[in-house]
Chains A and B, each alone.
Chain A
Amino acid sequence: MYRDYGPKEVKFFFIYKSLAHPELAGNYVQPFTLSERLDHARQAERQLGASIPWIVDAMDNRLKHALGDRPNSEFIVNPEGIIIRKRAWSDPAQVRKDLEELVGPVDRITREEDVQLKLELPPKATAAVRIMPRLNRPKMQPIMMEPQIEPEGPPFFAKLRAEADAGLLKDGTGKLYLGFHLDPFHNAHWNNLTEPLSFRIETVEGVTIDKWEAAAPKVSVASDADPREFMLKMAAWPGDKPLRLTVSYFACVGEESCYTVTQEYVLHRERDIDGGGARGEGAGYWESEEFAQRMLASDKDKDGKLAKSEATGIIAPQFSKLDRNKDGFLDLDELEVFSDWLNYHHQPGVPSSESETTQ
């Protein structure tokens, strides 16, 4: 569409916003600084390979908030700067119809196969993953937190993801998830040859927590890139009393550059509407490959793909749509794509509609 309507003086922009689903493919985590968000946008340019330029929302997410807080919404603005179309979910086919109406049809419609996109994959993990068992945390919501950024300090190689269950958010009693996730853009891994990551929360009068401080377990391999996760039980956390948390860890970039890091956060008992819905293994969602392998359990002739006659359950009614290459079979890739879609709609995995977040 960009190729068809760019020459007709229609401008197209993707707006880069806070992550809708941290920890999804690529293990991306929410950036803390504008510079880090710009890194994300440049990675998005590479991964998507599209010529459409990106514009990047500010770190206070002002454009996202001003335009209704939807993760994949779409707007058409006329030459006077007035919104003339808006959709909660991007619908390219409908945009084409809109543009045909607004500026006229094109002589030849560019098809997907006409566009040779140069696509890139997400960066690979810097060290071994799936070394540490992950914590399961369905139905938890991200909470507001302020990383205490020191201009001269080291980057936040590890970034905190803080989530609360419904009870904690509502009346201050419930579970608090603390996950320290390595940011793939800083290319670091844990140095397990020294002390593991530890955190400490400053005590607040009246508040009870089962762990005011804790250390991650020792890991048997020299380095890895799994998150360090903790589930805390809390009671009587008042909404107006933020918690101050200090974390210490050892991170290495490559073989040589290792850092001893101590960083602070202030946590608020308030849902973060820009935090997104996490998609990690611990977050109660399907892992694409695991899902695809499960579906292949009904592969009776063991040829590594599902024929229509072998498809069962939720796959069966969608068979023809899922068979993207129209070869009459669903292969691993096609099943993995479907799992991403299922994850996105929170079915049939553990989370219910209660776990949906504004992204």
Chain B
Amino acid sequence: MRIVLTFLMLALAFVAFPTGVQAQKMQEREEDFLRSKPLIGDHLPDVTVYSPDGTPSKTGDLRGHYTVLTFGCLT
């Protein structure tokens, strides 16, 4: 359970416990990120990725739907 909680905490960390300085830092990071490429309005970069069974696909094919993409890993 702990690793799962860890994962969730990583995802929710800033949301869960922002205090003054952290909240400000978070805000600055978000603003930096918004200014960095790709910008809102740009196409999603088209690169090869894989399904967990190893089947390749292209991110450029993620069309026809609204798609939510979230980065993560085991740690």
Chain A residues close to B by CB (< 8 Å): 1, 9-26, 28, 34-35, 38, 40-45, 47-49, 53-58, 62-64, 66-68, 70-93, 95, 99, 102-103, 119, 121-122, 276, 279, 288, 317-318, 321, 333, 336-337, 340-341, 344-345
B 23-44 binary contact with A (CB < 8 Å = 1; else 0): 0001001101110111111111
Decide: A75 near B17, CB < 8 A? Known: A56-B52, A67-B45: no
B44, A70: Cβ atoms under 8 Å? no
A50 to B14, CA, bound (A): 22
Residue from the list B2, B7, B17 in contact with A48, Cβ < 8 A? B7
Which residues in A have their C-beta under 8 angstroms from that of B19?
Answer: 317
Residue from the list A11, A15, A336 in contact with B65, Cβ < 8 A? A11
A83, B39: Cβ atoms under 8 Å? yes
B40, A14: Cβ atoms under 8 Å? no
| Given A35-B54, A56-B49, 16 other A-B residues pairs in contact with their CB atoms under 8 A | A10-B66, A24-B75, A26-B3, A44-B73, A54-B51, A55-B49, A67-B45, A75-B44, A81-B62, A82-B41, A83-B39, A86-B40, A90-B70, A340-B5, A344-B9, A344-B10
- A-contacting residues, B59-75, CB 8 Å: 59-60, 62-75
Taking the nearest CB of chain A, how far is it from the CB of B36, in angstroms? 5
Nearest B residue (CB) for A117: B4
How would you classify the secondary structure of chain A's contact residues: helix, strand, loop or mixed? mixed
Taking the nearest CB of chain A, how far is it from the CB of B4, in angstroms? 5
B15, A91: Cβ atoms under 8 Å? yes
Which residues in B have their C-beta under 8 angstroms from that of A24?
Answer: 6, 75
A15 to B16, CA, bound (A): 22
Nearest A residue (CB) for B57: A55
